[in-house]
């Protein structure tokens, strides 16, 4: 599957030869993937000599031990399965406005479950995608090792296999998370309605466009009818050697966005860390449910314009006056659009 943002987060999306891809409008568009994944970190203190754990296990042979049940690899557990993995990466690379693992996990859990997971669940229930245990494991290993400046989006470049798309070539797809639905070897190509079709991708060095309907994966770009591998941040670039989606060619070198903290200047080049929002050119901290807020500064809900407090997003076809109130992100004629979205109805 090829795809995102943050989502975390969203945090969403957000491709590669055997993965799904970001939507193709004939221009470079990053997938919104909100988004995120699993890593246990140092969960156990083994003591000074490292023998306490083995002694505990020996004692457990003759005693009943209550262990937490393993989580099923399904969409409703995505945030819990991926939280440690992403927070390790976010903290290592300064991608989130948090100082500790505990703080990061709290922010990630609230935002991921409220903003992104409903989308994944709806797409899963519609038979459009499924969570991959192998993809989560690959992503975890990748995030432990990747250079911070080379991971432009959470769910690309080493993490583009977290979701298995189940829609074959010719099927429907959509922007953002909706682009993850295309199965291996296909990519989402959007039309002027911002809905799209899963198209078969060509390999690096293979033909694209022209007399063929083949498209390049998100890791490639069609240059003179041939799929050319995109360059990573820090690598050389020119018109014949394009940069990865989300990066750009700056005086012959690919450059990705810089992540900056609360109170720092933000723009198209300097991107605010998760749990912060660019307002008036300055990164401002976001707040949680029930807290006083300004528009756009709630990390797991919306800022109510009457009470000026963060409130939960509205699901289903709930009444709305603004798209920011809806889980789907779209308020249409006074009602929130339902998931997985109009492109799949």
The reply to whether 237 falls in a domain is no
Whether 290 shows a pLDDT value over 80: the answer reads yes
Q: Do 180 and 266 share a domain, yes or no?
A: no
- In the prediction, which pLDDT does 265 show? 98
- In the prediction, which pLDDT does 14 show? 34
The reply to whether 323 falls in a domain is yes
Q: Do 129 and 98 share a domain, yes or no?
A: yes
Q: How far, in Å, CA of 127 to CA of 70, rounded? A: 24
Q: Do 171 and 96 share a domain, yes or no?
A: yes
β-pairing, 253-255 vs 220-223, is unpaired
Backbone phi and psi for residue 286, each to the nearest 5 degrees, phi listed first: -90, 160
- In the prediction, which pLDDT does 134 show? 97
Quick check: 220 and 227 in contact, CB under 8 A?
Answer: yes
Burial class (CB in 10 A: 0-12, 13-18, 19+), 27: exposed
The reply to whether 160 falls in a domain is yes
Backbone phi and psi for residue 325, each to the nearest 5 degrees, phi listed first: -80, -15
The reply to whether 279 falls in a domain is yes
Residue for token pair 């989560």: 136
Q: Do 130 and 276 share a domain, yes or no?
A: no
Q: Tens of pLDDT along 152-184?
A: 999 988 999 999 999 999 999 999 999 999 999
Contacts of 203 (CB under 8 A, 6+ apart): 17, 227
- Pick the range with the lowest mean pLDDT from 62-71, 77-86, 234-243: 62-71
Whether 25 shows a pLDDT value over 50: the answer reads no
Q: How many domains does the chain have?
A: 3
Quick check: 33 and 12 in contact, CB under 8 A?
Answer: yes
| Mean pLDDT for all residues in the chain | 84
- In the prediction, which pLDDT does 324 show? 95
β-pairing, 331-332 vs 335-336, is antiparallel
Q: Tens of pLDDT along 89-147?
A: 999 999 999 999 999 999 999 999 999 999 999 999 999 999 999 999 999 999 999 99
The tokens describing 293, both together, are 């807020």
The tokens describing 36, both together, are 């995120």
Angle at 153 between CA 150 and CA 154, to 5 degrees: 105
Q: Do 149 and 263 share a domain, yes or no?
A: no
Across 52-57, average pLDDT: 40
Q: Tens of pLDDT along 61-80?
A: 444 545 456 899 999 999 99
Q: Do 273 and 338 share a domain, yes or no?
A: no
- In the prediction, which pLDDT does 66 show? 54
Across 15-37, average pLDDT: 37
Q: Do 286 and 338 share a domain, yes or no?
A: no
Three-state DSSP string of the chain = CECCCCEECECCCCCCCCCECCCECCCCCCCCCCCCCCCCCCCCCCCCCCCHHHHHHHHHCCCCCCCCCCCCCCHHHHHHHHHHHHHHHHHHHCCECCCCHHHHHHHHHHHHHHHHHHHHHHHHHCCCEEECHHHHHHHHHHHHHCCHHHCCCCCCCCCCCCEEECECCCCEECCHHHHHHECCCEEEEECCCCCEEEEEEECCCCECCCCCCCEECCCEEEECCEEEECECCCCECECCECECCCCEEECCEEECCEEECCCCECCCCEEECECEEEECCEEEECECCCCECCCCCECCCEECCCCCEEECCECCCCECCCHHHECCCCEECCEECCCCCHHHC
The reply to whether 49 falls in a domain is no
The reply to whether 48 falls in a domain is no
Give the structural domain span for 343. 313-345
Residues present in the chain in total:
345
- In the prediction, which pLDDT does 209 show? 86
């Amino acid at each position: 599957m090829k795809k995102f943002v943050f989502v975390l987060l969203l945090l969403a999306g957000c491709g590669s030869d055997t993965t799904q891809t970001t939507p193709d409008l004939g221009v470079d568009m990053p997938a919104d993937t909100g988004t995120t994944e699993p890593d246990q970190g140092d969960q156990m203190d083994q003591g000074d000599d490292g023998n306490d754990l083995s002694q505990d296990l020996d004692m457990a042979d003759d005693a009943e031990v209550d262990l937490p049940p393993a989580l099923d690899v399904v969409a409703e557990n995505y945030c819990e399965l991926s939280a440690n993995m992403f927070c390790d990466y976010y903290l290592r690379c300064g991608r989130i406005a948090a100082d500790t693992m505990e703080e990061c996990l709290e922010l990630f859990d609230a935002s991921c479950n409220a903003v992104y997971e409903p989308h994944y669940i709806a797409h899963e229930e519609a038979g459009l995608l499924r969570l991959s245990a192998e993809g989560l494991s690959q992503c975890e290993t990748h995030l432990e090792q990747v250079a911070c400046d080379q991971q432009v989006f959470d769910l690309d470049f080493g993490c583009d296999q977290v979701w298995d798309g189940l829609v074959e070539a010719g099927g429907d797809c959509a922007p953002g998370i909706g682009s993850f639905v295309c199965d291996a070897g296909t990519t989402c190509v959007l039309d002027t309605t911002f809905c799209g079709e899963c198209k078969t991708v060509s390999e690096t060095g293979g033909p694209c466009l022209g007399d063929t309907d083949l498209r390049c994966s998100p890791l490639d770009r069609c240059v003179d009818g041939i799929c050319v591998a995109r360059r990573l941040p820090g690598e050389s670039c020119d018109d014949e050697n394009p940069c990865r989606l989300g990066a750009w060619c700056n005086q012959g070198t690919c450059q990705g966005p810089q992540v900056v903290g609360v109170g720092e200047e933000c723009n198209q080049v300097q991107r605010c860390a998760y749990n912060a929002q660019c307002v008036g050119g300055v990164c401002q901290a976001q707040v949680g449910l029930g807290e006083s807020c300004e528009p756009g500064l709630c990390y797991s809900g919306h800022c109510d314009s009457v009470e000026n407090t963060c409130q939960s997003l509205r699901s289903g076809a709930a009444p709305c006056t603004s798209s920011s109130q809806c889980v789907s992100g779209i308020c249409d004629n006074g009602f929130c659009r339902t998931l997985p979205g109009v492109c799949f109805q």
